[in-house]
Structure 1
Amino acid sequence: MERRKVDILCVQETRWKGSKARSIGAGFKLFYYGVDSKRNGVGVVLKEEFVRNVLEVKRVSDRVMSLKLEIEGVMLNVVSGYAPQVGCELEEKERFWSELDEVMESIPTGERVVIGADFNGHVGEGNTGDEEVMGKFGVKERNLEGQMVVDFAKRMDMGVVNTYFQKREENRVTYKSGGRRTQVVLPDDWETTAEVIRETGRKMLGVSSGRRKEDKETWWWNEEVQNSIQRKRLAKKKWDMDRTEENRQEYKELQHTVKREGV
């Protein structure tokens, strides 16, 4: 973090049991959560100067946690996630995605969100049909876990940032074993990554005036808006229980409906 001038870093598979925050030296502090010293565990490392900006820490499970910070008047939510590996049971994978969805749903509209996660999957090369959430520079063919990442990005109107820049494969792969490869979350060139994030943000979100908007109130919600919100919540529960494409599409359409109504 010192060498690459990184102020905030998400870490996974920490394998530290407990729900704590501790200084780890060199002016950095680790917020972490784990229930077993032999498996899983997630954390977020902050430069000490940002520790005072932490407003909230949510430790959901040993696979998902988040920090909310206020930096120069901007609310920033940093989510650290560690998805089950390919060989894990489907129930465990669905539980992880459900927990991640719950964290995202709890973040107020208008706040910034960055997810630093080991999703244990790859979204594949090319982006035909998925241009709105990813670039062309993934690794190999998409697997089931990679499809879950793409589906999540579409549900949340987010982008798979590390697919927008072109790098040599040895710089895109951080783990190799038995012919299997896992794509790296961040490249070794932070300036490249920062520029990709800025450009992706401009394309997906536009450019704001920099003036802060007043927080949204709920007193004006009429019955139609309330019904839309309720339908969206029911669709979310339905999709969590049965992850079919039909249920996913229904939930996605209701998300857009609620956004159009200004909630």
Structure 2
Amino acid sequence: MKDQFYDALERELLTTDNSLVGGDFNGHIGEDNSSCESVHGGFGYGSQSSDGVRLLDCAMSARLFFAITALKKLHTQFVTFMSGRIATQIDYIFYRKGSISSLKNAKTIPVGIQHKLVVAHFTMKKVHKQRKVKRQPRIKTWKLRDPETKKLFTTEFAATPETTTWEELKNNLFEVAQNVYGVSRGHAASRETWWWNQEVEEAVRMKKQLFKQWRRNKNDANRTEYANVKRAAKHTICDAINSQVEQAIAEADSMKIFNISKQRVKQRQDVVGTNCLKDAEEKLQTNIAARKKIWKDHMYDIMNVEHSYTSSDKPAVEGPSEEVTVAELKSALRALANKKAPGPSGITAKVLKAAGDPFIDVLTTICSQI
């Protein structure tokens, strides 16, 4: 019967994420922790029994620590059960160190004739749940690459009723775009890193595993092992990147070479997005210290040096503003970048350009009314 209980207890501890377990386990774990330092603090009462050994094995497999064994107390304060002259310790509270910050106190309180109440005071870690990002569905504007689809969108939009407000015009654009292009499900497509391979995956997995082990045990041996594996993982990533670069050069893949060069240029940029600056002597400076000095001198000059300026004597413009022309709107639409996020309206530049002349005519009328 006891074997069935301890088997069920071990299964329960391994399959659930219980951070705190307590009760009457009818087993003596004793005060000797020579073979169970990870779960036993070295303080206790009496000697171990066979049931206590089973209980210690369950705790070690589930990485649970006996609270009362971590604090030095009088022998009588470890006793949880008394019957006549018999005194034993069979009631325990054990916890998972990873989810509990620190143990403040653990003690026994006499509340009955035989059993004592075991009490433990913990400081709990606040668990921050990661908010699930709800991604909005998007219009499949990438279908604009097909000339036939783009022509169909222009035709469908031209057939919409005439509007005089931007809200109606925006709704017509959305409705036609959804009918012609369709709407995505809102799931973000996961992009795989271009230099990722099986060796990198194994190196990163091992590094994460040893980091968790070091954070859990906090000893020098685990820290040294983690540092060595972390260094090896960096070398593995560098080898993978260099291998992919050499492969792209050998295959003459111009697009891949361009993407790699663009990424490396971006990594070298400073906070304002520049790779090099000219100093006062018109010499290019690429190192970080020289660029910081250039920016420092520039800002000092702006804030402290008074420069001469000329005031404008042009008369103030009065009267109604000039009307917006079709040519101005066409020029503004051509200047819009395609691969940019939409504004508050939610309409991208690709959709505005694909709407064609009917959209520009209606937009000209709306702008003239402002």
TM range (shorter): 0.3 to 0.5
TM-score (norm 2): 0.26
Larger Rg: 2
Structure with the largest fraction of helix = 2
TM-score (norm 1): 0.36
Structure with the largest fraction of strand = 1
